[in-house]
């Protein structure tokens, strides 16, 4: 290769590098969430996945955070909290969660890559900040009432035109509290040992019993 060709090639590479340094460029990244497994709170995990599909990341984060407060040793859960923070531009918080997930499972490539991305984004935002360009993250708020968020719920069976009886005690001869429409969702308090009765918190705050066959549990 002649000296002129070498010089031309070097100038082209230098121009490309300089242009990328001065001008911003963009790339698309598809975030993949881990499949969180939690036997006791599987319905709340499903809720979090539903919120993610709906792009309601604040609600998804609150749900994950509530689970995290009772089970902080689930690497898939911790990783997903890192992803939500990264999506929101909270790179320092994302780095924190990715680091914890990686400490719990150092073989997971996704955790390694997540931590690397967070560190690169922290470096980039620092450079931009030094140039007077500040990127404001979307702040995610954790769960304030963990017990309320994680409470299992039931749904009264049937259509709204159909009514099911709530009793004071788990006996059909007991006093009726009221008759409630189908599709109504209520907080579950407990299920009787014989599995025939479900104790719930009614809309007015009272406790009452439905026959197990009149409700759908696991909501």
Give yes or no for residue 93 having a pLDDT over 90: yes
Listed as own residue / partner, the contacts of 177-182 with beta carbons closer than 8 Å and 24 or more positions apart are 177/202, 177/206, 177/208, 178/202, 178/208, 180/156, 181/156, 182/156, 182/157, 182/158
pLDDT of residue 164: 94
pLDDT in tens, 53-77: 999 999 999 999 999 998 999 999 9
pLDDT of residue 17: 61
Give yes or no for residue 14 having a pLDDT over 70: no
Average confidence (pLDDT) over 115-132: 92
Record the tokens describing residue 147, joined without a space. Answer: 């017990």
Which DSSP helix (H) or strand (E) runs through 215?
strand 215-216
pLDDT in tens, 28-51: 788 999 999 888 888 889 889 999
What's the mean per-residue pLDDT of the chain?
Answer: 87
Assigned superfamily of 151-216: SH3 Domains (2.30.30.40)
- Cβ proximity of 188 and 154 under 8 Å: yes
What gap in Å lies between CA 48 and CA 195, rounded to an integer? 28
Q: Where are the domains of the chain?
A: 32-150, 151-216
* Sheet of strand 185-191: strand arrangement: 176-181, 163-167, 207-211, 197-201, 185-191, 153-156, 215-216
Q: Kindly report the backbone phi and psi dihedral angles of residue 87, in degrees, each rounded to the nearest multiple of 5, phi listed first.
A: -60, -35
pLDDT of residue 211: 94
pLDDT in tens, 157-203: 999 888 999 999 999 999 999 999 999 988 888 889 999 999 999 99
Percent of the chain beyond pLDDT 90?
A: 59
Record the tokens describing residue 159, joined without a space. Answer: 């259509």
Percent of the chain beyond pLDDT 70?
A: 87
Burial of 194 (0-12, 13-18, 19+ CB in 10 A): exposed
Tell me yes or no: is domain 32-150 CATH 1.25.40.10: yes
Q: How far apart are the first and last CA of the chain?
A: 72
- What's the whole-model pTM score? 0.68
pLDDT of residue 150: 77
pLDDT of residue 126: 92
Give yes or no for residue 4 having a pLDDT over 70: no
């Amino acid at each position: 290769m002649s000296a002129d060709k070498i010089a031309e090639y070097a100038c082209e590479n230098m121009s490309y590098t300089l242009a990328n340094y001065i001008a911003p460029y963009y790339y698309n990244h598809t975030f993949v969430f881990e499949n969180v497994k939690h036997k006791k709170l599987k319905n709340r995990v499903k809720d979090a996945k539903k919120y993610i599909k709906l792009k309601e990341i604040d609600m998804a984060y609150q749900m994950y955070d509530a689970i995290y407060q009772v089970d902080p040793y689930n690497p898939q859960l911790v990783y997903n909290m890192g992803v939500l923070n990264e999506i929101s531009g909270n790179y320092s918080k994302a780095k924190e969660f990715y680091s914890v997930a990686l400490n719990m499972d150092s073989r997971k490539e996704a955790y390694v890559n997540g931590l690397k991305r967070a560190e690169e984004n922290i470096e980039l935002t620092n450079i931009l900040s030094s140039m007077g360009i500040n990127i404001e993250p979307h702040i995610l708020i954790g769960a304030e009432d963990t017990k309320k968020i994680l409470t299992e719920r039931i749904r009264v069976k049937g259509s709204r035109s159909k009514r099911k009886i709530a009793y004071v005690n788990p006996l059909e001869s007991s006093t009726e509290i009221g008759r409630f429409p189908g599709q109504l969702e209520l907080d579950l308090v407990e299920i009787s040992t014989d599995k025939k009765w479900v104790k719930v918190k009614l809309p007015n705050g009272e406790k009452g019993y439905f026959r197990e066959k009149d409700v759908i549990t696991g909501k």
